Amino acid sequence: MIDSRILNNWLCNVCSRRQFFLSSMNLSLPDQTMHNSSEGCLEDDKPDVMLPCFRRNMYDEPLASYSSGSIISQLLRKTIHNKRALDESHFYLSGSAAADSSQEDQCSISSKDSTVEAASPGAHVPTGAGTEVEHPMADHLQAKRARVENIIRVMAGSPNSRQPGDSERCDTDARDTREAREAYRENKRKQRLPQHQEHSVGGPANRRPGSSSNSDNCNKDEECHKLKEQLHSMQRLLRQLQEKFLQVYNQEDPENNDRDDTEGVEHESTESRYVSTEDDFERKNSRVTAECKDRMKVVGYLVQQRESRSLQDTLKQELSRAVNDCVDRVFKKEASSTGQDLSPQQRMCSSPELQIGVGADRKRQQAGSPQEQPQAEEAAVKPCSLEYYESSEAHSPPDQTEALSLVVRKPPVTPLSSVNPTVKRPYPMHQNPFQFSYSTPLHDSQILEHLLKYGPHSSFGGHPCMAPSMDRNSPDSVDLPWDAIAMRSKVTSSHLAHHARASALGAVTVDNLCLPHVKIECGELQSMADRNPYMSLNIQEGLTPSHLKKAKLMFFYTRYPSSNVLKNFFPDVKFNRCITSQLIKWFSNFREFYYIQMEKFARQAIVDGISDIKDMTVSRDSELFRALNMHYNKANDFHVPDRFMEVSEITLHEFYSAISAAKDSDPSWKKAIYKVICKLDSDVPEEFKTSSYL
Partner DNA sequence: TGACTTCCTG
Partner DNA sequence: CAGGAAGTCA
User: Which residues make up the interface to DNA (CB under 7 A)?
Assistant: 519-520, 522-524, 526-527, 543, 548, 552, 560, 562-563, 577, 580, 582, 584-592, 595, 670, 674
Cβ-based nearer residue to DNA, 77 or 631: 631
Q: How far is the CB of 519 from DNA (least distance, A)?
A: 5
Residue 25 vs 548, nearer CB to DNA: 548
Nearer to DNA, 125 or 553 (CB): 553
Cβ distance to DNA smaller for residue 401 or 580 = 580
Give the nearest distance from C-beta 551 to DNA in angstroms: 7
174, 208 in Cβ contact below 8 A? yes
Tell me whether residue 292 or residue 579 sits nearer to DNA (CB atom): 579
Q: Which of 53, 510 has the CB closer to DNA?
A: 510
Shortest Å distance, C-beta 543 to DNA:
7
User: Cα separation of 105 and 99, whole Å?
Assistant: 10
The minimum distance between CB 591 and DNA, in angstroms, equals: 5
Q: Which is nearer to DNA, 425 or 552 (CB)?
A: 552
* Alpha-carbon gap, residue 201 to 134, rounded angstroms: 39
Q: How far is the CB of 527 from DNA (least distance, A)?
A: 6
C-alpha 666/C-alpha 598 separation (Å) is 18
Q: Please check whether residue 512 is in contact with residue 427, taking contact to mean a CB–CB distance below 8 angstroms.
A: no
> At closest approach, how far in Å is the CB of 681 from DNA?
10
The answer to whether residues 269 and 46 touch, using CB atoms and an 8 Å cutoff, is yes
Nearer to DNA, 407 or 543 (CB): 543
Nearer to DNA, 420 or 580 (CB): 580
CB of 552 to DNA, least distance (A): 6
The Cα–Cα gap between 464 and 550 comes to 13
Q: What is the DSSP string of 617-635?
A: ---TTSHHHHHHHHHH-TT
Angstrom distances, CA of residue 223 to CA of 94, 166, 169, 183, 292: 12, 13, 11, 19, 31
CB 482 within 8 A of CB 451: yes
Q: Is 26 left (phi over 0), alpha (psi -120 to 50) or beta?
A: left
DSSP for 60-111, please give it: HTGGGG--SS-HHHHHHHHHHHHHHHHHHHHHHHHH-HHHHHHHHHHHHH-H
**Cβ proximity to DNA, 612 vs 637, nearer residue:** 637
* DSSP H helical ranges for 191-285: 195-207, 216-252, 257-267, 271-284
Q: How far is the CB of 670 from DNA (least distance, A)?
A: 4
Cβ nearer to DNA, comparing 476 with 592: 592
Closest-CA residue to 542 (of 510, 507, 572) = 572
Q: Provide, rounded to whole angstroms, the least separation between the CB of residue 675 and DNA.
A: 9
Eight-state DSSP code of residue 396: S
DSSP state at residue 474? S
Q: How far is the CB of 677 from DNA (least distance, A)?
A: 8
| DSSP-derived 3-state class of residue 674 | helix
Least CB distance from residue 369 to DNA, whole Å? 26
Question: CA–CA separation, 602 vs 652, rounded Å?
Answer: 6
| CB 211, CB 221: distance < 8 Å | yes
| Dist. CA 640–CA 412, nearest whole Å | 47
Q: Return the ∠ at Cα 555 (arms to 552 and 524), rounded to 5°.
A: 50
Confirm if 429 and 393 have CB atoms less than 8 A apart. no
DSSP states along 228-240: HHHHHHHHHHHHH
Shortest spacing between CB 495 and DNA, in angstroms: 12
Report whether 226 contacts 240 (CB < 8 A).
no
Helix (H) or strand (E) holding 184: helix 169-190
Nearer to DNA, 55 or 517 (CB): 517
Residue 24 or 558 having the CB closest to DNA: 558
Q: Which amino acid is at 197?
A: Q
Minimum CB distance to DNA, residue 461 (Å)? 21
Residue 429 C-beta: closest distance to DNA, Å: 23
Rounded Cα distance, 123 and 568, in Å:
96
Evaluate the CA torsion angle 611, 613, 614, 616 in order and state its sign: positive
Q: Which residue, 383, 463, 384, is CA-closest to 421?
A: 463
Q: Residue 561: helix, strand or coil by DSSP?
A: coil
Cβ proximity to DNA: between 102 and 540 the closer is 540
CB 180 within 8 A of CB 101: no
∠ Cα 552 554 558 (to 5°) = 115
Shortest CB 686 distance to DNA, Å: 22
- Between 190 and 577, name the residue whose CB sits nearer to DNA: 577
